[in-house]
Amino acid sequence: MKIQDTLTAIFQEKFGRPAAFLARAPGRVNLLGEHVDYNDGFVLPAAIDRATYIAFAPSDSGLTTLWAADFDKQAAFSPETLPAKTQPDGSPLPDWARYPAGIMWALGEAGLETPGMDAVFASDVPRGSGLSSSASVEMAFGVAWQQLGGWALAPMELAKLGQRAENQYVGVNCGIMDQFASACGVENRLLLLDCRSLEWETLALPEGVSIVVADTTVRRKLTSGEYNQRRASCEEAVRRLQASLPDIRSLRDVSVAGFNRLAGSLPAEIEKRARHVVEEIERTRQAISLLQAGDASRFGNLMNECHASLRDLYEVSCPELDVMVEIAQSLSGCYGARLTGAGFGGCTVNLVAQEYAEAFANALAAGYKSKTGLHPEIYICKASAGAGLL
């Protein structure tokens, strides 16, 4: 049974009437440009054909009542209970409900109507895997409130409010990429986002390639502390480099040649972190012309270089990710493989010739299981459309 049919059946059972609408918002995978979004760099994500789905209808009570089908749990909130992050009975909002509540809060702060709704939702984006399950929840609820509130926002504006919800309400200091990709996805296209100006365009995937996502099933152990240390190292590098390059605002403004000239003046760890970012931004710039030329092979080489840099310079890989990437890179039809997302677990992304995709997925799963004893989840993905009503 399709996920949306399941949700409409649960909605009828829970709320005693049919759902009025269905909304969907995809997860995302990032092909190149990792850990550069908070350094004003360029990222190359795609929305994927795994998503959060919501069956919903306006509520008569003014309350928003949610049933999370994946957890078999219910929560409720209203604009009045949002600031305290509680339910109407005073109990704390469960963690999973903070993402929808955060979107209601951010929309309200922007002066947009968020009428009460009854909703049942579920997702086939694996949680904690680096495929932005939280952003897909935020964007799906943004679309739902847009329908019920009778207002319209450009997808990028909705993405910005989703980022604000996650930063200021949920308390995760993420960049804009995840919400952007979920809101603005375009079928069969990669998205090129300038994280400084927020200007974006789409680029075609090379002909005859598949995006294969491999979930190590190791859940990210990236504590906010590790992530924040990486950000702090980048900021410290900028501060030190400004002595010689007074006009730079972020590592985005430092060329590879300029960095090489000054790298010796940085402490060893700061130099490694900053080198990854400077070189990764340059890789993403190079990728544009390769994609325009349909050169899957050289684009894949950039993905391979990115993984080595994340492993050795940024140090956000883990043994399971490295094993998954090594096996992938040895298999026929694989142009490139790397960890995707924040790191320390989660998924790899692989660019694979279409005719090899099935055999690649099977061989990768078998090889990974024999080396780690873990059962991976492997998905052959398509670049999909962004958030909207079904």
Q: What is the DSSP string of 205-231?
A: PPTTEEEEEEE--PPP---HHHHHHHH
Exposure string for 311-333, b = 16+ CB within 10 A, e = fewer: bebbebbbebbbbbbebbbebeb
**What is the set of domains in the chain, with CATH numbers?**
3-205 (3.30.230.10)
Query: What confidence score (pLDDT) does residue 132 get?
Result: 67
- Catalytic choice (40, 178, 215, 253): 178
40 is catalytic: no
* Residue the block writes with tokens 């909130």: 77
Question: In tens digits, what is the pLDDT along the chain, a chain of 390 residues?
Answer: 799 999 999 999 999 999 999 999 999 999 999 999 999 999 999 999 999 999 999 998 889 999 999 999 999 999 999 999 999 999 999 999 999 999 999 999 999 999 999 999 999 887 766 666 899 999 999 999 999 999 999 999 999 999 999 999 998 877 899 999 999 999 999 999 999 999 999 999 999 999 999 999 998 655 567 888 999 999 999 999 999 999 999 999 999 999 999 999 999 999 999 999 999 999 999 999 999 999 999 999 999 999 999 999 999 999 999 999 999 999 999 999 999 988 888 899 999 999 999 999 999 999 999 999 999 999 999 999 999 999
Taking the C-alpha atoms of residue 176 and residue 166, their distance in angstroms, rounded to an integer, is 10
Query: What confidence score (pLDDT) does residue 342 get?
Result: 84
Query: What confidence score (pLDDT) does residue 225 get?
Result: 76
Query: What confidence score (pLDDT) does residue 198 get?
Result: 95
pTM above 0.85, yes or no: yes
Report the mean per-residue pLDDT for the chain. 95
Torsion region of 65: left, alpha or beta (phi above 0 gives left; psi -120 to 50 gives alpha): beta
Q: Which two tokens stand for residue 172?
A: 């995760």
- The pLDDT tens digits of the residues spanning 106-138 come to 999 999 999 999 999 999 887 766 666 899 999
Query: What confidence score (pLDDT) does residue 219 get?
Result: 81
Per DSSP, 383 falls in state: B
The residue type at 270: I
Query: What confidence score (pLDDT) does residue 128 get?
Result: 65
Taking the C-alpha atoms of residue 100 and residue 46, their distance in angstroms, rounded to an integer, is 23
Taking the C-alpha atoms of residue 195 and residue 175, their distance in angstroms, rounded to an integer, is 8
- The pLDDT tens digits of the residues spanning 35-65 come to 999 999 999 999 999 999 999 999 988 899 9
Query: What confidence score (pLDDT) does residue 226 get?
Result: 84
Taking the C-alpha atoms of residue 45 and residue 130, their distance in angstroms, rounded to an integer, is 12
CB-CB neighbours of 83 under 10 Å = 9
